[in-house]
């Protein structure tokens, strides 16, 4: 199966090892992977800010770059959710609407893709390490990403403890986190408290944006937690970057 990796701008710039892990896992799952070089961003910040014109320009670029593959795979529920909205971005009468619909139909969040399309079993990596999972909103509610990351983590030998507020928004929300920083941080605090109560020191999620926000807030607390993208935990330890939330500025 030939798949294209839509790496997402946050992974590309801030957490490239998540991209490397995605590439490796897709290959291990038997896919031929292309990474379109001219990809930049799916246009979500513009779309969610009401800038439809810019969102459209970028949507058309996505259509150009991700044509001609069997599947488009994204290590972010949020960006995968955006690709699913591209038909709406273009509008009902746009000449390339059908193309956008076809792209949306073959676009997957990566953990769902690995479990449902490839039945992928990672090797034993977790060694009984305990963690808790944060469900990012777009993946959860737009795409139904709930069990797939948990299945992969458990297959790899990690022990999952659920927090009560796993499905509550962490307060990142793209530009929301800088437009309304106080509310955003108050939401993070609630999430962090819930994660703390679950008794795991490692918080795992499927979206780098949420993780940066939570990690940055957690570092200001007395007992910071560690944060990782789910893919980081599905490759051997030596290939993992330093966990987020462990900074000492």
Partner 1 sequence: MSFRVDSQDFIARSSDALEDAPLQSALGKLRMGLSLRRREAVAALPEFEALRDEAAALRDYTLATLDQQLEAFEAQVRARGGEVHWAPDAEAARRIILELCQRYGAKKVLKGKSMVTEELELNEHLEAQGIRCVETDLGEYIVQLRRERPSHIVAPAIHLRKEDVAESFAEHHGDAGGRDRSTAEALMAEARAELRAHFLSADVGITGANFAIAETGSTVIVTNEGNGDLTQSLPKVHIAVTGIEKVVPTLEDASTLLRVLARSATGQEASVYTTFSTGPRRPEDPDGPEAYHVVLVDNGRSAMLGTEFEAMLRCIRCGACLNHCPVYGQVGGHAYGSVYPGPMGAVLTPQLAGLDQTVHLPTASTFCGACAAVCPVKIPLPTLLRQWRQRAHEAELGGTKARWLLALWGFFAARPRLYHAGLRLGTRVLAGLAGPRGSFRRLVGGQAWTAKRNFPAPEGGSFIASLSQETFSPTAEDRSAR
* Chain centroid to CA 29: 19
As measured in angstroms, the least distance from the Cβ of 244 to partner 1 is 5
| Angstrom distance (rounded) from CA 68 to CA 49 | 30
Q: Give the one residue of 29, 47, 72, 114 binding partner 1; rule: CB under 8 A.
A: 47
Q: Give the one residue of 171, 192, 198, 234 binding partner 1; rule: CB under 8 A.
A: 171
| Angstrom distance (rounded) from CA 27 to CA 231 | 13
Antiparallel, parallel or unpaired: β 32-34 and 2-5: parallel
Query: Is 25 in contact with 120 (CB distance < 8 Å)?
Result: yes
Query: Between residue 81 and residue 140, which ones bind partner 1 under the rule CB under 8 A?
Result: 137-138
Query: Can residue 196 be called a binding residue for partner 1 (CB under 8 A)?
Result: no
Query: Can residue 247 be called a binding residue for partner 1 (CB under 8 A)?
Result: yes
Query: Can residue 244 be called a binding residue for partner 1 (CB under 8 A)?
Result: yes
Nearest in space to 166 (alpha carbons), one of 131, 133, 137 = 133
As measured in angstroms, the least distance from the Cβ of 157 to partner 1 is 25
Query: Can residue 29 be called a binding residue for partner 1 (CB under 8 A)?
Result: no
As measured in angstroms, the least distance from the Cβ of 154 to partner 1 is 25
Query: Between residue 48 and residue 87, which ones bind partner 1 under the rule CB under 8 A?
Result: 48-52, 54, 57-58, 61, 70
State the number of binding residues for partner 1 (CB under 8 A). 79
- Segment near partner 1 (CB under 8 A); pick from 106-114, 167-175, 198-206, 231-239: 167-175
- Segment near partner 1 (CB under 8 A); pick from 2-10, 95-103, 113-121, 122-130: 2-10
- Segment near partner 1 (CB under 8 A); pick from 96-104, 113-121, 197-205, 217-225: 217-225
- Segment near partner 1 (CB under 8 A); pick from 29-37, 98-106, 107-115, 122-130: 29-37
């Amino acid at each position: 199966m030939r798949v294209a990796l839509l790496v997402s701008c946050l992974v590309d710039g801030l957490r490239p090892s998540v991209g490397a892990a995605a590439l490796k896992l897709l290959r291990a799952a038997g896919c031929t992977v292309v990474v379109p070089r001219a990809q930049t961003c799916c246009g979500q910040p513009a779309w969610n800010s009401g800038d439809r014109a810019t969102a459209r320009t970028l949507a058309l670029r996505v259509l150009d770059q991700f044509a001609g593959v069997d599947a488009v795979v994204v290590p972010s529920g949020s960006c995968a959710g955006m690709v699913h909205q591209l038909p709406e971005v273009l509008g009902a009468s746009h000449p390339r609407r059908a193309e956008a619909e076809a792209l949306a139909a073959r676009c997957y969040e990566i953990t769902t893709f690995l479990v449902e399309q490839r039945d992928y079993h990672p090797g034993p990596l977790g060694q009984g390490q305990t963690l808790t999972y944060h469900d990012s909103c777009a993946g959860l509610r737009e795409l139904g990403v709930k069990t797939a990351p948990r299945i992969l983590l458990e297959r790899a030998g990690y022990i999952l403890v659920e927090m009560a507020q796993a499905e509550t928004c962490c307060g990142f929300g793209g530009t929301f986190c800088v437009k309304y920083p106080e509310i955003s941080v108050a939401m993070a605090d609630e999430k962090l408290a819930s994660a703390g109560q679950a008794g795991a020191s490692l918080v795992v999620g499927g979206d780098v944006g949420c993780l940066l926000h939570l990690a940055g807030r957690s570092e200001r607390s007395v007992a910071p937690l560690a944060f990782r993208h789910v893919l980081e935990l599905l490759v051997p330890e030596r290939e993992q970057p330093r966990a987020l939330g462990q900074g000492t500025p």
